[in-house]
Structure 1
Amino acid sequence: MSSQATPTLRLSGIGASPGVAVGHAFILDRKRIRTPKLRLADAEVEPERMRMKTAIDLSDRQLAELKDQITRTEGSDHALILEAHRLMLHDPMLVDEVNRLIVEDRINAEWAVRRTARKIKHLFDNIPDEYFRERRSDVDYVADRIIRNLMGQVVDEDVEVPAEAIVVAHDLPPADAAMMARSGRVAGFVTDLGGQTSHTAIVARARETPAVVGAGRASEQISPGDLVAMDGTRGVVLVNPTEDQLALFREEQRRYLESEQLALATKDQPAVSTDGFRIRLNGNMEFLEEIPSLLAHGAEGIGLYRTEFMFLDRKTAPTEEEHYRAYKQVLEAMGGRPVTIRTLDLGGDKVPGKTKHEKEPNPAMGLRAIRYCLSNRELFRVQLRALLRASVHGNLRLMFPLICGVSELREARSELEACRTALGRAGVPVGKRFPVGIMVETPSAATIADRLAQEADFFSIGTNDLIQYSLAIDRQNREVAYLYRPLHLSVLRMLQGIVDAAKSANIPVSMCGEMAGDPLFTLVLLALGFDELSMTSGQIPVVKRLMRRVSRSEAVEMLQGAMELTTAEEIERFVRTEMDRRFSGGQEGSLLSPVHDPESEPV
């Protein structure tokens, strides 16, 4: 029970895996060990290099055993992360630099590993993509393992987590996260570090365990045994809540579990308005293991399959066969449902195999996505050939990211057709022609959507980038993040123009950005006339229920009223009021308001 004498502490982080959990804190102390710093005599250099080799060999065996263990219990996806760590162990960027420091600077192996890890992590600092920035933590995991083995310390210590515990940690190695989530004893995760694409977040979503990451100094501010109430949707953590707050969290937890049960019961029902307007609800995914959860929550297909995970912690690009196997597995697992695969959204500073780190002045607007692929044709062709081969195994749709003009689309399609022709000549089986669409995520593409619609088979709007580029803000920059407003009038007008252009050309238009799964925007998107929306699994049931309870004509009327207003604040207030008026008092109402007001208590 919480004590009134103990003040309640409120922490804010990133909602990484939806759900509400209440439990006592289990503090996982995986803090980095103190690294000894010693100077070597000449005679000690060669023995020190042998110590380093022995530690790497031991680390490799440990990771191989963990990989086998997780493969047996969790499947291959999380095991791939550990395989990537094994590759890092033998990467010349790590091994050669450590040996150089031992020989030239005459320092002990532990110190050399820590210095090298810090240097490698700096290479990730200016990468705009969150997924690849999160890979800095992988460098720390590998370095810590080597150092602990050098010092003779226990590395993979079994942790007995109490039932229904909230695990609180500075950060979680992927093996720890996977093992603890699999145990079924963990009620939720709270970590100081991490983002939506951290390993903890990926594992938690796959196991449907609530998680809040990036919560600052949570592991220092929460004590063992503290009562913790957490909301993995909003990223809110209350430590030692009052009885009233605890009761409200329990009610939220009950409603969330009820909604999950409802999701299972209604997963096969369509998202159709009361006046018959039908929208397909698809899922966003990166890992094969996410598919069962998506299907259980009613996903009708995959609206965005991100393929960048294949470049995770590698020094060489994936082979055509590796691409092919990954796409084949997903297409077969979806059993004929449409799977929209986005070609590589990579930038020049996050591609394996580069020995020289070239900093771009503004990487977010530099050589990335389709621009990078068209500048590195063989890398692009490897993926295209694999996609063409995999298309025989399911219902494939291909999507090019960051298209800014018609010439880019034509060039990309030309590469695809050249690969199709070459495979045909070689007698390699290729599926029938599949739809080829584009991500509309730049103002230029939005402005000429009517022309692009003549040459694309479908549109998918990536609101994350489209809003950032349109409003000239960086969402990762806390100083200007408050300016990120999906209901800014310019954004609404742009969305309307893109949808209208698609409708005029008679091609489907979908949305796969974060805006698609936010219940506050559901009626706005219904009014705009989207054919499909794609989101994370936990968002599908809420959006579906909202759509099934209202007519499109009502939604259009609401949107018209919103677009008569001027400021983003006015529009947000109007839309929220209209949503509350229509859905207050029911299950949907409880899922609307708290999600969008960062200052609101979880009531």
Structure 2
Amino acid sequence: MRRGSAEDEEGHVSSQASPTLSLKGIGASPGVAVGHAYILDRKRVRTPKLRLAEAEVDPERQRMRTALELSDQQLSDLKDQISRTEGPEHALILEAHRLMLHDPMFVDEVNRLIVEDRINAEWAVRRVARKLKHLFDNIPDEYFRERRSDVEYVADRVVRNLLGQVVDEEVSLPDHAVVVAHDLSPADAAMLVRGGQVAGFVTDLGGHTSHTAIVARARSTPAVLGAGRASEQISPGDLVALDGTRGIILVNPSEEQLALFQETMRRHQESEARALAAKDLPAQSTDGFRIRLVGNIEFPEELPSLLAHGAEGIGLYRTEFMFLDRKTPPSEEEQYRAYRQVLEAMDGRPVTIRTLDLGGDKVPGKGRHEKEPNPAMGLRAIRYCLSDRALFRVQLRALLRASVHGHLRVMFPLICGMSELREARSELEACRTELGRAGVPLGKRFQVGIMVETPSAALIADRLAQEADFFSIGTNDLIQYSLAIDRQNREVAYLYKPLHLSVLRSLRSIVTAAKDAGIPVSMCGEMAGDPIYALVLLALGFDELSMTAGQIPTVKNVLRQASREEATRLLATAMELTTAEEIERYVRTEMDKRFSSEG
């Protein structure tokens, strides 16, 4: 791991020495940081390309075996180190990389190229990695697109070992360094945050669901990822100010800009301190309306940060990560252990687990031969589960067995009509009966709800509420389906408007249907964690909002300082307006008046 050396005190670049550079990326871990740049060079090593004589093929395959064994041992050692210092949860990512080293899709294909094309192992590894990465390119789900990086990390480790290069060089960081890199492997990110000196992360690649983002959020370290050519534009020792909420980076800021950042950082730190002090206080309005604030997670490693920030439970546990980087789907026993771990860690707090939300082409061992032209609207989520009942039943049995260990709630994604809900519940009850007859211990009956994320579900919410135990509104999909825009498409992403009048009317009708039926209603989309929308959601009457750990303090702070009555007045005025721009401008202006002095 090569790196640029940080400047000494005399060598630091002052804010007057260079013009200020402003960069924009993805706010992947909230918070504000100011520190000097430490450049970590993670660019790929140059790969030699050689043709082999027939007599060189077997020795080359042996070189490959040796490199794989060394890579596996390195990852095992790193996993043990991180488990001792950070706990076992962080080590799960490295275990996934170890599995890739033994995956026939990777190993067998590399050996085939060595034998049939007679090319050296380094070249073969790069060719196979490129092929595997292309499989991820057209996946609409951001989380799974980010897994391309995992293939690159594993391939890079193997190639460096083939070349005899140092792979895991120990890094000694100065205090309060802002680590700047082209990209960071999970091992890099986890090892760097161990000592606590990292003030923040800036990377050229990555996004909100990358491993760097997950590790940063778990340690409450501000991070701006996906910042283009930041690692080329920032020099060692440059003063860097970053806002991990808004995705803003200032390099060598002016004194005035630096003062503003430092004031924002001070307010954020005060807000964090208040949050930690008030983490056990309820998110309750001044006139007594109570909203439960819970967390969204993908990995168990996020649990400590959630609890430290006052989460009252888990509102969305995405189970898809268990299906990544493997040849076959996880077994019932493996899933049971994962769900049990989270339920026990939450110690009686409610844990809402969403059943598999993938398309059939992403499930290992279940690949479809025909590529779907529009996978976001194709055979995915509950539709896929109901088409592959055996796979679905494995997950349902694991959930039923895990229900012994905590307060479980289960929800089905992408429900469009009553028949899907009834079929899914029927499968669950069939599994309950099967396990009961076999004498398997089961917990008490748990709530079974649905994700409301399609316009059809919103329009028949009154009927669905008669047979669902709770609603959880997935605003990310509901908004893009309602407005007919792909929020990943840069050409139309500007049309993604959570305060569009049609969206507000849909939310109001869904909440009303839930209240009329006497069932709780929550929101787990990005809208739930944005403090700008907190009073709108308070006025609508949500029982629960689910978000990332770092968002909980600010949202709680807003809710505890406002009354439901004033929130209702704000929403009523907003819904008298017509365009999304008018509504957003009005809501932002009103929120600034009330909370502009808050962190």
Give the structure-1-normalised TM-score. 0.96
Q: Residue 78 of structure 2 aligns with which residue?
A: 66
SS of the residue aligned with 1:77?
coil
Which whole-Å deviations, capped at 9, do the CAs of 1:216-259 have from their partners, x for residues lacking one? 11111111111000011111110010011011111111111111
SS of the residue aligned with 2:293?
strand
Query: Quick one: which of 154, 158, 164 aligns to 1:146?
Result: 158
Q: Residue 124 of structure 2 aligns with which residue?
A: 112
Q: Check whether the contact 2:361–2:368 (CA below 8 A) recurs between aligned residues.
A: no
**1:299 to partner: Cα distance:** 1.2
1:17 has 2:29 as partner:
yes
Q: Residue 247 of structure 2 aligns with which residue?
A: 235
Q: Distance in 1 between matches of 2:204 and 2:371?
A: 28
SS of the residue aligned with 2:583?
helix
Q: Residue 361 of structure 2 aligns with which residue?
A: 349
Indicate the larger mover: 508-517 or 347-356. 347-356
Q: Residue 100 of structure 2 aligns with which residue?
A: 88
Q: Distance in 2 between matches of 1:278 and 1:79?
A: 37
**1:572 to partner: Cα distance:** 0.5
**1:355 to partner: Cα distance:** 6.0
1:506 has 2:524 as partner:
no
Q: Residue 594 of structure 1 aligns with which residue?
A: none
Q: Check whether the contact 1:14–1:235 (CA below 8 A) recurs between aligned residues.
A: yes
Q: Distance in 2 between matches of 1:19 and 1:543?
A: 14
1:578 has 2:590 as partner:
yes
Q: Distance in 2 between matches of 1:98 and 1:334?
A: 43
SS of the residue aligned with 2:136?
coil
Q: Residue 465 of structure 1 aligns with which residue?
A: 477
Q: Residue 332 of structure 1 aligns with which residue?
A: 344
**1:326 to partner: Cα distance:** 1.2
1:361 has 2:373 as partner:
yes
Q: Distance in 1 between matches of 2:587 and 2:281?
A: 26
Structure 1 stretches of 5 or more lacking a match? 592-603
Query: Quick one: which of 273, 276, 299 aligns to 1:264?
Result: 276
Which whole-Å deviations, capped at 9, do the CAs of 1:51-99 have from their partners, x for residues lacking one? 1111111111111111111111122222111111111111111112112
The amino acid that maps onto 1:426 is A
**1:356 to partner: Cα distance:** 6.2
1:318 has 2:330 as partner:
yes
Query: Quick one: which of 264, 281, 285 aligns to 1:252?
Result: 264
**1:156 to partner: Cα distance:** 1.1
Query: Quick one: which of 400, 421, 445 aligns to 2:433?
Result: 421
Q: Distance in 2 between matches of 1:91 and 1:583?
A: 52
Evaluate the alpha carbon distance shift between residue 355 and residue 407 of structure 1 in structure 2; reply closer, same or farther with a 3 A threshold. closer
**1:542 to partner: Cα distance:** 1.3
Q: Distance in 2 between matches of 1:322 and 1:191?
A: 34
**1:445 to partner: Cα distance:** 0.6
Q: Check whether the contact 1:328–1:393 (CA below 8 A) recurs between aligned residues.
A: yes
Q: Check whether the contact 2:527–2:533 (CA below 8 A) recurs between aligned residues.
A: yes
**1:353 to partner: Cα distance:** 2.2
Q: Residue 560 of structure 2 aligns with which residue?
A: 548
SS of the residue aligned with 2:109?
helix
For these two proteins, the number of residue pairs brought into alignment is 587
Q: Distance in 1 between matches of 2:274 and 2:197?
A: 24
The amino acid that maps onto 1:312 is L
1:300 has 2:312 as partner:
yes
* Paired residues for 1:158-307 under 5 Å: 158-307=170-319
Which whole-Å deviations, capped at 9, do the CAs of 1:506-563 have from their partners, x for residues lacking one? 1110101010010110111011111111111111121112112221111111111111
Query: Quick one: which of 414, 417, 421 aligns to 1:402?
Result: 414
Query: Quick one: which of 61, 76, 82 aligns to 1:49?
Result: 61
Q: Check whether the contact 1:180–1:186 (CA below 8 A) recurs between aligned residues.
A: yes
Q: Distance in 1 between matches of 2:17 and 2:487?
A: 39
**1:581 to partner: Cα distance:** 2.2
**1:169 to partner: Cα distance:** 0.6
**1:354 to partner: Cα distance:** 4.2
Query: Quick one: which of 103, 111, 132 aligns to 2:144?
Result: 132
**1:321 to partner: Cα distance:** 1.2
Q: Check whether the contact 2:360–2:367 (CA below 8 A) recurs between aligned residues.
A: no
Q: Distance in 1 between matches of 2:34 and 2:63?
A: 46
Structure 2 stretches of 5 or more lacking a match? 1-12
Query: Quick one: which of 576, 579, 591 aligns to 1:564?
Result: 576
Q: Residue 391 of structure 2 aligns with which residue?
A: 379
SS of the residue aligned with 1:437?
strand
Q: Which runs of 4+ in 1 moved over 6 A?
A: none
SS of the residue aligned with 2:200?
strand
**1:4 to partner: Cα distance:** 2.7
Q: Check whether the contact 2:33–2:222 (CA below 8 A) recurs between aligned residues.
A: yes
Query: Quick one: which of 446, 455, 459 aligns to 2:467?
Result: 455
**1:164 to partner: Cα distance:** 0.8
Q: Check whether the contact 2:458–2:510 (CA below 8 A) recurs between aligned residues.
A: yes
SS of the residue aligned with 1:495?
helix
SS of the residue aligned with 2:240?
strand
**1:364 to partner: Cα distance:** 0.7
Give the structure-2-normalised TM-score. 0.96
Q: Residue 481 of structure 1 aligns with which residue?
A: 493
Q: Check whether the contact 1:126–1:363 (CA below 8 A) recurs between aligned residues.
A: no
Same amino acid, percent of matched pairs: 83
1:99 has 2:134 as partner:
no
Q: Residue 3 of structure 2 aligns with which residue?
A: none
Q: Residue 388 of structure 1 aligns with which residue?
A: 400
Q: Distance in 2 between matches of 1:525 and 1:183?
A: 39
Q: Distance in 1 between matches of 2:463 and 2:236?
A: 60
SS of the residue aligned with 2:78?
helix
The amino acid that maps onto 1:542 is T
Q: Distance in 1 between matches of 2:275 and 2:56?
A: 64
Q: Distance in 1 between matches of 2:346 and 2:116?
A: 55
The amino acid that maps onto 1:190 is V
Indicate the larger mover: 8-17 or 43-52. 43-52
**1:357 to partner: Cα distance:** 5.7
Q: Distance in 2 between matches of 1:373 and 1:491?
A: 28
Q: Check whether the contact 1:127–1:349 (CA below 8 A) recurs between aligned residues.
A: no
